[in-house]
Chain A
């Protein structure tokens, strides 16, 4: 039997991985819906718990929305590699002749499409409940869309490191939350600036820069973390 030369076909592998993960998530809808329900519940409780005073609510709305979205993303991270680890498809992914960083990037892309993006689209609706000025809705959604992509990428490093542990949830939060802080500061800052009639472009640019950095570095970190977890 002849030796097989490593073939190209990375595009085929990425497309198939995205399609597979989308199909899987859409068949287990509760995993997609849980973070969104969590987000909606938390935001609904704040006006009840603090006060219905619109001025007060509008002042704290950007921070609240961002923190709730960040925690919702965090909640959904644990399942990112867990299922694949349990049924053995993770070791098959690691043994595929394709570059691992590209394959994990497609898994993270699916996570963002089904968690970060819906959260960003939902945020303006919940903003209404917090009396957020209508003019800031576009920036809120944009900042969350950009920021949650960074959150998915950074969080996936933690998820990859803790996938071999049976109760990695708390450890995952401890590892990942400090790295979320810059994204939170500039994300919530962008919305705050718009409310104060300023220009949000610098904040959004920094969020974009953070996303570029995360896109460049985290696939390699995730791949390395998965190899460590499998070795353990």
Chain B
């Protein structure tokens, strides 16, 4: 079974200011959608709507042809969302953080698997150090480890490159490309210039107009 996230005529208002309107988009297997726009143009809000967190919008949102309201639990089982804040607990170690995320998905997992994933994001030797003692980039890497640990077809990533070093950026770009080639899809915002990523589409949010363009 294949998947598809569709939005028709999405519009959102915040404090009497229209952030965006008439956004139509479709994301299916193998596609990467990049949301662009200046600061304050509503990129994060759009991602929160697309990941089912905000319900305060007009327009329609469908998952696999079903309205989001009814397909919510099926949708959430397929979604991996990484927000502005990495969502890792400062007082817990990277291993403990990942164990909780794995359990939230209903999987018990094992420690060897989590160690391997952490080594993969360059955190070998930091597995048992409280996250509070890690740098901002390392904390972000703990969150990014979830991309491999709990495979989900749809990734919604809000500024995933923040605080990551050059080498890490290249690894993450490769990771996104591999995911798209394996038939997954990615929706992301970033101010960073992306290396050519397979089938990349862009949607630009502005203060007045929004446009969708293929590349």
Binding site for B on A (CB under 8 A): 1-10, 12-13, 15-17, 20, 23-24, 27-28, 83, 86-89, 91-98, 103, 227, 230-231
Contact = CB atoms under 8 A, between A and B. Distances in A.
Interface in B78-98: 78-79, 81, 83-92, 96
Contacts of B86: 87-88
B104 A7 contact: no
Contacts of B179: 1
11 contacts: A1-B153, A3-B1, A9-B103, A16-B103, A28-B91, A86-B85, A89-B87, A96-B104, A96-B105, A97-B106, A98-B104
A97 B74 CA distance: 8
Contacts, number: 119
Contacts of A88: 83-87
Contacts of A3: 1-3, 64, 74, 78, 153
Interface in B151-209: 151-153, 179, 182-184
Given A7-B105, A9-B105, A20-B92, A92 B81 contact: yes
A223 B103 CA distance: 19
Main secondary structure of the interface of B (DSSP, over half): loop
Interface of B: 1-3, 29, 51-56, 64, 73-74, 76-79, 81, 83-92, 96, 99-108, 151-153, 179, 182-184
Contacts of B90: 87
B53 A87 contact: no
A231 to B, nearest CB: 6
A17 B103 CA distance: 8
Contact of A95 (B1, B29, B53, B88): B53
Nearest to A227: B55
A141 B37 CA distance: 59
A97 B103 contact: no
B82 to A, nearest CB: 9
B89 A24 contact: yes
Q: Which of A8, A92, A98 has the most chain B CB atoms inside 10 A of its CB?
A: A92
Contact of B87 (A87, A103, A230, A231): A87
B79 A95 contact: yes
A24 B103 contact: no
B183 to A, nearest CB: 4
Contacts of B102: 16
Contacts of B78: 3-4
A97 B102 CA distance: 11
Given A13-B103, A88-B85, A96-B104, A7 B53 contact: no
